[in-house]
């Protein structure tokens, strides 16, 4: 542990924000790919992706507010 | 009304003014990209952000004790120090707004309090190590973390949707961008309105108006929520312009990636207790969204100006805080604080008048970037 940088908190922040920020953005993009494919499977996949994004947002709001 | 009540009243009004400038300074964080990409009309964007800031302020279950705890000795904090700190933060907020530079309101406030404490109680009352670990180091790391996340996000977003038809893509990301920007607004209301609530509560406890263990009175929460959302609705158009148009040209997918990154980094840092400034995170995200898209241009000269402003935020606000304390303390009591308050008001008014000469507003916020927040010569009707 460093006195000036809380490395422990820092790497958690980095991992969490990469997963939530870049990861969920990618999942959202996949949903758009699914939607535009025109096939029923694509629509189902898109719906699943949107659900994942929504769940991520709810989880994010929950952990931020329930301090 | 005795002198103490007057003093407390002036401090509360100053705190609410700070909250107000915090709102309009930071509208850009959430909404600059949505405005720049046209996902939302400017007025709609600021209205949405204002409503969410208002809601966010009420969502905070536990008011953060105080912003300055851990950075200066609690024993050194008097009403006059709190007042001078607020004046320092306010001055820096207004000045950076005038130059259209997104800068951290929290850092400005911390700077003001540190400056006032330095002159009021001496260097020993300021915890140097805490200033480094809680303010300076995060100021460097916040934009870097956000740049990394936003670059990765932008790259993925473009790579994955390469073959998606423009219609679906545009509509989808427009929707996503509004959603993620809304989260940033909500988080801003929760985190930033809390700081002012904490300060007002602290001032009331210091004055003996409420007991130490009493919670924040409801009217304080309501007043802070109203102040920050009014400020947000007014819109710091100068800062919005710099962030939305100045740093890089933003398309909808980039705006979406940037706001997702900002929301994620802010949520994560607030959860894991790593104090990152919303402003630094959002600026980093916008830069990252420029880096992640191939051939997009990032105007590093604009970014450099911002970083320079961030570096002098602390000393500059500290200097104003120190001068404000010396002035208020030299004259003494409620009279001193009131006089400094009026002087501050006059200076703020002068700056506002100066800004009217080259105004930035909802109508011209998206004009082509010419190197300055406000258009210099070519007067467009």
Lowest mean pLDDT among B34-43, B91-100, B129-138, B144-153: B129-138
**CB distance from A31 to chain B under 8 Å?**
yes
Q: Within a domain: residue A24?
A: yes
Q: Could you say which of A9, A32, A36 has the minimum Cβ distance to residue B274?
A: A9
Range of the domain at B343: 3-357
Average pLDDT score, chain B? 84
Residues 6+ away with beta carbon under 8 Å from B240: B27, B28, B31, B32, B35, B42, B360, B365
Q: Within a domain: residue A2?
A: no
Give the minimum alpha-carbon distance from B106 to chain A in angstroms, rounded to a whole number.
19
- Partners of B276 on chain A (C-beta within 8 Å) are 13
Q: DSSP per residue over B74-139, as a string?
A: GGG--HHHHHHHHHHHHHHHHHHHHTT----HHHHHHHHHHHHHHHHH-GGGB-HHHHIIIIIHHH
SS3 (DSSP) at A39: coil
Q: Within a domain: residue B166?
A: yes
The interface residues of chain B toward chain A in range 233-272, judged by CB-CB distance below 8 A, are 256-257, 260-265, 267-272
Q: Supply the pLDDT for residue B155.
A: 93
Q: Within a domain: residue B364?
A: no
Q: Within a domain: residue A53?
A: yes
Q: Radius of gyration of chain B from Cα atoms?
A: 20
How many structural domains is chain A composed of?
1
Is B168's CB within 8 Å of A10's CB? no
Spatial contact of B317 and B89, defined as CB atoms under 8 Å apart: yes
- Partners of B270 on chain A (C-beta within 8 Å) are 64, 67
With a pLDDT cut of 90, the percent of chain B lying above it is 25
Q: Supply the pLDDT for residue A3.
A: 65
Return d(Cα B73, Cα B71) in angstroms, integer. 7
Q: Within a domain: residue A52?
A: yes
Q: Within a domain: residue A56?
A: yes
Is B149's CB within 8 Å of A22's CB? yes
Range of the domain at A28: 7-65
Q: Within a domain: residue B9?
A: yes
The string of pLDDT tens digits covering residues B121-148 is: 888 888 888 788 777 888 888 889 999 9
- Number of inter-chain CB pairs under 8 A, A vs B: 138
Q: Within a domain: residue B365?
A: no
The string of pLDDT tens digits covering residues B182-215 is: 999 988 888 888 888 888 888 888 787 887 777 7
Q: Within a domain: residue B374?
A: no
Q: Within a domain: residue B260?
A: yes
CB-neighbour burial class of residue A9 (10 A; exposed 0-12, middle 13-18, buried 19+)? middle
Q: Supply the pLDDT for residue B67.
A: 57
Q: Within a domain: residue A1?
A: no
Q: Within a domain: residue B290?
A: yes
With a pLDDT cut of 70, the percent of chain B lying above it is 94
Q: Within a domain: residue A27?
A: yes
Q: Nearest chain B Cα to A61, which residue?
A: B267
- The yes-or-no verdict on residue B91 having pLDDT over 50 is yes
How far, CA to CA in Å, does B327 sit from each of B126, B236, B321? 20, 30, 10
- Partners of A25 on chain B (C-beta within 8 Å) are 153, 156-157, 176, 256-257, 260-261
The string of pLDDT tens digits covering residues A13-44 is: 889 999 989 999 999 999 999 988 888 888 89
Extract the tokens encoding B243: 């962030």
- The yes-or-no verdict on residue B373 having pLDDT over 70 is no
The string of pLDDT tens digits covering residues B1-38 is: 677 888 888 889 999 999 999 998 888 888 988 998 88
Q: Could you say which of B150, B267, B272 has the minimum Cβ distance to residue A60?
A: B267
The interface residues of chain B toward chain A in range 29-58, judged by CB-CB distance below 8 A, are none
**CB distance from A41 to chain B under 8 Å?**
no
How many structural domains is chain B composed of?
1
Is B272's CB within 8 Å of A20's CB? no
Q: Could you say which of B137, B256, B265 has the minimum Cβ distance to residue A25?
A: B256
Q: Supply the pLDDT for residue B352.
A: 83
Q: Supply the pLDDT for residue A67.
A: 58
* Other C-beta atoms lying within 10 Å of the C-beta of residue B372: 16
Q: Within a domain: residue A28?
A: yes
Give the minimum alpha-carbon distance from A33 to chain B in angstroms, rounded to a whole number.
6
Residue B354 DSSP label: H
Is B153's CB within 8 Å of A10's CB? no
- The yes-or-no verdict on residue B76 having pLDDT over 80 is no
Q: Supply the pLDDT for residue B379.
A: 38
């Amino acid at each position: 542990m460093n006195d000036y940088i809380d490395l422990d908190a820092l790497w958690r922040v980095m991992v969490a924000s990469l997963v939530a920020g870049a990861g969920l953005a990618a999942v959202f993009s996949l949903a758009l790919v699914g939607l535009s494919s025109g096939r029923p499977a694509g629509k189902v996949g898109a719906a699943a992706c949107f659900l994942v994004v929504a769940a991520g947002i709810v989880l994010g709001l929950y952990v931020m507010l329930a301090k | 009304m005795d002198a103490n009540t007057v003093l407390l009243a002036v401090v509360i009004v100053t705190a609410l003014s700070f909250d107000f400038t915090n709102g309009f300074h930071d509208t850009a964080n959430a909404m600059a990209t949505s405005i720049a990409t046209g996902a939302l009309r400017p007025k709609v964007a600021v209205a949405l952000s204002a409503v969410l800031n208002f809601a966010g302020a009420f969502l905070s279950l536990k008011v953060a004790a105080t912003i300055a705890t851990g950075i200066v000795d609690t024993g050194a904090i008097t009403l006059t120090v709190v007042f001078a700190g607020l004046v320092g933060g306010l001055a820096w907020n207004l000045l950076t707004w005038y130059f259209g530079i997104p800068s951290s309101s929290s850092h400005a406030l911390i700077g003001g309090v540190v400056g006032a404490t330095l002159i009021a109680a001496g260097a020993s009352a300021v915890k140097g190590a805490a200033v480094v670990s809680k303010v300076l180091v995060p100021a460097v790391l916040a934009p870097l973390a956000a740049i990394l996340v936003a670059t990765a996000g932008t790259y993925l977003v473009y790579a994955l949707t390469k073959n998606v038809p423009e219609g679906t893509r545009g509509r989808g990301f427009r929707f996503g961008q509004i959603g993620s920007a809304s989260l940033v607004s909500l988080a801003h209301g929760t985190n930033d309105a809390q700081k002012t609530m904490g300060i007002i509560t602290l001032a009331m406890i210091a004055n003996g108006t409420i007991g130490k263990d009493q919670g924040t009175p409801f009217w304080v929460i309501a007043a802070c929520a109203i102040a920050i959302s009014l400020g947000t609705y007014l819109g710091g158009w100068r800062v919005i312009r710099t962030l939305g148009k100045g740093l890089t040209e933003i398309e909808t997918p980039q705006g979406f990636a940037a706001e997702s990154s900002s929301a994620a980094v802010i949520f994560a840092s607030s959860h894991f207790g790593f104090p990152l400034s919303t402003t630094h995170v959002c600026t980093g995200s916008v830069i990252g969204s420029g880096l992640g898209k191939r051939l997009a241009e990032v105007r590093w000269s604009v970014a450099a100006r911002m970083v320079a402003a961030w570096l002098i935020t602390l000393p500059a606000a500290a200097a104003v805080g120190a001068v404000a304390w010396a002035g208020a303390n030299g004259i003494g009591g409620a009279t001193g604080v009131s006089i400094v308050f009026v002087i501050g008001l006059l200076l703020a008014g002068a700056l506002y008048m100066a800004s009217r000469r080259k105004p930035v507003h909802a109508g011209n916020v998206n004009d082509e970037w010419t190197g300055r927040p406000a258009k210099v010569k070519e007067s467009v009707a």
